[in-house]
Structure 1
Amino acid sequence: MTSATNHRLAMQELRAQEKAARKAERERQKRVARDEAAERRRAARSGFANVANPRRSTLMTVLCSIFAIYCLFPFVYLLINATKSQADFTGTFGLWFGGEFNLWDNIVTVFTYQDGIFGRWFLNTILYVVVGAGGATLLAIMGGYALAKFRFPGRKAVFAVIIGSISVPGTALAVPQFLLFAQLGLTNTPWSMIIPSLISPFGLYLMWIFSEQAVPTELLEAARVDGASSWSVLRNVRLPMIRSSVTICLFLAIVRSFMVFEVNMTLTDGGPFNTTEMIAFRIYNTAFVSLKFGNAQAQAVVLFVIVALISVCQAYFTSKREVQM
């Protein structure tokens, strides 16, 4: 009798616990539903969308459309005017095609002008891109690592100088650079193109931030305890952890090297004997010195295609590497 009573009481207690658990679960689900509804209302009021509340903002759509048109307008103008002859360029509306479609003729002229001297300009550009962008990225990696992981006097002053140099436009440094290189006797030489391209304040700042955040100091200390040298730590520990940021830094340096103009104009003017004349500077001379606007537009199209291919390759290899990791 006592055993049956105890069994009955245990079953009642178990059912009561199950009932309380179901009630608690229902209350939890109600709280979650209320929180989600409150979040949707808050998102609706603030104008932002989330996964649970897909919502379009008309104002943001209009602003983004205006910004996209602003960014795409130069490319549309470039492509349209690259199809024109010299007469059509000066005699027709700039945002529409001329009487003849001369894009192919302009591109052929680009590669056949002066027995194919465009190839020389292209090789000059590639040479300075490889040396300048590669050297700037390497120096940024080593400098960012040192600034992030080593403590030394004047570290904050170096940080202030880097931030300040990022804020100064390149054109403001054209005259001081010319005077400095003139004193050193380096104007009109390849070195006056290479040395400025090795300096990348933004790349150094980028590597500094990534090294500070993405590379644990404890991991570096463990590698040193195991007997690794500073170079081994940099190559085998740090670089694999900041590979994506290195790719970004290299890509930005490559694009900056392709677009270099003021250094080419002020320090070398393309000399000696066209050994430092790059595509961007040649486009300017073709358009505003020789007044061959159609040919200059075609050169710009070729440069745009080259940079676009580099961008696509960079995006492809970066995404492929992230999938492998």
Structure 2
Amino acid sequence: MLLIGAFYCLVPIVWIFVAASKSRADLFSTFTFRPGTSLLDNVRDLFAYNDGVYGQWALNSLLYAGVGALLCTLISAAAGYAFSRYSFPGRNAIFYLILAGVLLPAMTLAIPQYIIMAKLGMVGSYWSVLLPGLISPFAIYLARIYADASVPSSIIESARIDGASEYRIFATIGLPMMLPGMVTIFMLQFVGAWNNFLLPYIMLADEDKYPINLGLYTVLTRGSGEPALYGIAIVGTAVSIIPLVALLLFLQRFWRLDMISGGLRG
């Protein structure tokens, strides 16, 4: 079953990279998994399209996904740690209220978020895409679960006895122990923000602020009159997958270290 699932997921990705290597004539005349010889020319055409706007889209996606995921991870880690290690009135009620947000589809929140951004005068700015993604109920839930499992209360109490402040305890003890969980949260948020289409589509009107997926959508809509643009969209899609694969390969070392440290503690 795992092999079938892997085959189902990988075949479209393989086809995208194969299609990205074909010339326009081969792309529309045949359907095979045999690579072509026009990859470099296609990549050159991609980054030359519309005065290199694809590079701007890539930088925008890195901003929305990278900065947004990093800030969301820090906020979620702080919130999850607080829910896990502090007792305060209404803690469980607030946590369950946040957890209920997991059940709400992102589509139902898009219009209220647009109205709020419009009232704040931020529609059309980078902030209109960044701010709504900083709070993630699911990320806060994961952070609390990981804090419960990885941050012993005895160590926190020992640090308090030694006179450490709560902020220092969180920064020097809580965060390092929660690092593998934070990596997971960062990865999930990065992928979600990188692939987010609906929110930028609603918030942004300036093409120079588009992320990659929204930019490629505009290319596809113009492709009905210019079939050559379909090739540019396919190459752009293939290039947009590379940062996600590279990020996953880079971050997996933190999961491996966590498994090793868990075995040593055992």
Instruction: Give the TM-score, by structure 1 length.
Output: 0.72
Quote the residue 2:214 is aligned against.
Answer: 281
Q: State the secondary structure of the residue aligned to 1:186.
A: coil
Structure 1 CA distance for aligned equivalents of residues 258 and 218 of structure 2: 41
Consecutive unaligned residues of structure 1, counting only runs of 5 or more, are 1-62
Structure 2 CA distance for aligned equivalents of residues 136 and 209 of structure 1: 16
Q: State the secondary structure of the residue aligned to 2:51.
A: coil
Distance 1:92 1:167, change over 3 A: farther
Quote the residue 1:72 is aligned against.
Answer: 10
Quote the residue 2:194 is aligned against.
Answer: 258
Residues 165-185 of structure 1: per-residue CA shift (max 9 Å, x gap): 223232232222222222322
Of 211, 236, 244 in structure 2, the residue corresponding to residue 307 of structure 1 is 244
Q: State the secondary structure of the residue aligned to 2:163.
A: coil
Structure 2 CA distance for aligned equivalents of residues 85 and 163 of structure 1: 49
> Partner letter of residue 152 of structure 1?
F
Residues 207-243 of structure 1: per-residue CA shift (max 9 Å, x gap): 1111112212232122112211110110112122222
Q: State the secondary structure of the residue aligned to 1:254.
A: helix
**Structure with more contact order per residue of length (Cα contacts < 8 Å, sep ≥ 6):** 2
Quote the residue 2:154 is aligned against.
Answer: 218
For the 8 Å contact 2:72–2:134, the answer to whether it is kept is: yes
**Where in structure 1 do 4 or more consecutive aligned residues deviate above 6 Å?**
none
Report the alpha carbon displacement of residue 146 of structure 1 after superposing the two structures with TM: 0.9
Distance 1:151 1:320, change over 3 A: closer
Residues 232-264 of structure 1: per-residue CA shift (max 9 Å, x gap): 110112122222112222222222222221111
1:174 equivalenced with 2:110 (yes/no) = yes
Residues 78-135 of structure 1: per-residue CA shift (max 9 Å, x gap): 2233234445444443x5459x643322211112223322222222222223321111
Structure 2 CA distance for aligned equivalents of residues 229 and 165 of structure 1: 32
Q: State the secondary structure of the residue aligned to 2:249.
A: helix
For the 8 Å contact 1:144–1:208, the answer to whether it is kept is: yes
Q: Matched residue pairs, number?
A: 258
Quote the residue 1:126 is aligned against.
Answer: 62
> Partner letter of residue 75 of structure 1?
I
Structure 1 CA distance for aligned equivalents of residues 185 and 165 of structure 2: 25
Quote the residue 1:36 is aligned against.
Answer: none
1:204 equivalenced with 2:137 (yes/no) = no
Of 154, 178, 183 in structure 2, the residue corresponding to residue 242 of structure 1 is 178
For the 8 Å contact 1:89–1:293, the answer to whether it is kept is: no
Give aligned-pair identity as a percent: 32
1:230 equivalenced with 2:166 (yes/no) = yes
Distance 1:81 1:203, change over 3 A: same
Residues 245-300 of structure 1: per-residue CA shift (max 9 Å, x gap): 1222222222222222111101113x2x61x2111211222223344221111111
Structure 2 CA distance for aligned equivalents of residues 123 and 202 of structure 1: 26
For the 8 Å contact 2:183–2:254, the answer to whether it is kept is: no
Residues 58-83 of structure 1: per-residue CA shift (max 9 Å, x gap): xxxxx223222221132133223323
Structure 2 CA distance for aligned equivalents of residues 102 and 172 of structure 1: 43
For the 8 Å contact 2:180–2:254, the answer to whether it is kept is: no
Consecutive unaligned residues of structure 2, counting only runs of 5 or more, are none
Quote the residue 1:45 is aligned against.
Answer: none
